Structure 1
Amino acid sequence: MDTKRAALGSAAFFVAAPGTVVGLVPWLITRWDLDGGWWPAQVLGAALVVTGLVPVVSAFAQFAQAGGTPMPLAPTQRLVVTGFNRYVRNPMYVGLLVVILGQALLFTSPGLVAYAAAAWAATATFVRWYEEPTLQRTYGAEYDEYRANVRGWLPRRRPWTPTS
Structure 2
Amino acid sequence: MRRLWWRHLLSVLLAPAMMTVFIPVTIGILADVGVPDLGTPRGLVLALVGGALIAFGLFMLAWTVVLFDRIGDGTLAIGSPVKLVVTGPYRHVRNPMMTAVFCIQLGTAVVWSSPWLFAWFVFFFTAVLIAIRTVEEPHLRRRFGGDYDQYRRHVPRWIPRVRAWEPLSGGQTNSGKPVST
Q: What is the TM-score with the length of structure 1 in the denominator?
A: 0.91
Aligned to 2:3: 4
Aligned to 2:178: none
Q: CA deviation at 1:92?
A: 0.9
- The alpha-carbon distance between structure 1 residues 60 and 3, as it changes in their structure 2 partners (threshold 3 A), is farther
Structure 2, unpaired ranges of 5+:
173-181
Task: Determine which structure has more spread, i.e. the larger CA radius of gyration.
Answer: 2
Moved over 3 A (4+): none
Q: Distance in 2 between matches of 1:33 and 1:158?
A: 41
Aligned to 1:50: 55
Task: Name the structure with the higher helix share.
Answer: 1
1:126-161: CA deviation from partner (whole Å, max 9, x where unpaired): 111110000001101100010001111111111112
Q: Which has the higher contact order (CA 8 A, sep 6+)?
A: 1
Q: Is the aligned partner of 1:125 residue 2:164?
A: no
Q: Is the aligned partner of 1:22 residue 2:20?
A: yes
Aligned to 1:34: 35
1:36-63: CA deviation from partner (whole Å, max 9, x where unpaired): 4611111110111010122211111111
- Return the letter of the residue paired with 1:115: W
Cα RMSD (Å): 1.6
Structure 1, unpaired ranges of 5+:
none
1:46-90: CA deviation from partner (whole Å, max 9, x where unpaired): 11101012221111111111213222x422221111121111101
Q: Distance in 1 between matches of 2:146 and 2:34?
A: 48
Q: How many residues align?
A: 161
Within the candidate set 95, 100, 108, 1:95 is matched to 100
Q: CA deviation at 1:12?
A: 2.3
Q: Is the aligned partner of 1:84 residue 2:89?
A: yes
The percentage of aligned residue pairs carrying the same residue is: 30
